[in-house]
């Protein structure tokens, strides 16, 4: 993958907050910012894909409807059951 230089000017207060967030994760500020941008890009692409799928199948995109928690079946065993 080709890389390109991207320069960004931020104020001191924001840079300190970014340093703190990055330090909590054991990352450099550059890595933290890049991963954040990648995550945001993925979220945006995923939402677009879901909306396009819903349009394809005839459901209009809109606010996500909360779903009621499913009641577990008596014969259902969680995959993690018995694993410590």
How far is it, in rounded angstroms, from Cα 46 to Cα 73? 31
Q: Is residue 52 part of a domain?
A: yes
Q: How many domains does the chain have?
A: 1
pLDDT tens-digit map of 6-15: 888 999 999 9
pLDDT at 52 over 70: yes
**If you write DSSP's letter for every residue of 3-28 in order, what string do you get?**
---------HHHHHHHHHHHHHTT--
Q: Is residue 25 part of a domain?
A: no
The pLDDT value given to residue 60: 61
What proportion of the chain, given as a percentage, has pLDDT over 70?
Answer: 70
Residues 6+ apart with CB under 8 A from 23: none
Domain range for 54 is 31-62
Q: pTM for this one?
A: 0.54
Q: Is residue 15 part of a domain?
A: no
Q: Are 37 and 43 in contact (CB under 8 A)?
A: no
């Amino acid at each position: 993958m080709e890389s390109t230089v991207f320069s960004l000017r931020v104020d001191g207060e924001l840079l300190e907050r970014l340093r703190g967030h990055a330090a909590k994760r054991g990352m450099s500020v550059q890595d933290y910012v890049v991963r954040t941008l990648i995550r945001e890009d993925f979220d945006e692409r995923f939402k677009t894909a879901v909306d396009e799928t819903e349009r394809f199948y005839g459901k209009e995109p809109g606010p996500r409807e909360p779903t009621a928690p499913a009641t577990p079946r008596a014969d259902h065993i969680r995959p993690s059951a018995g694993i410590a």
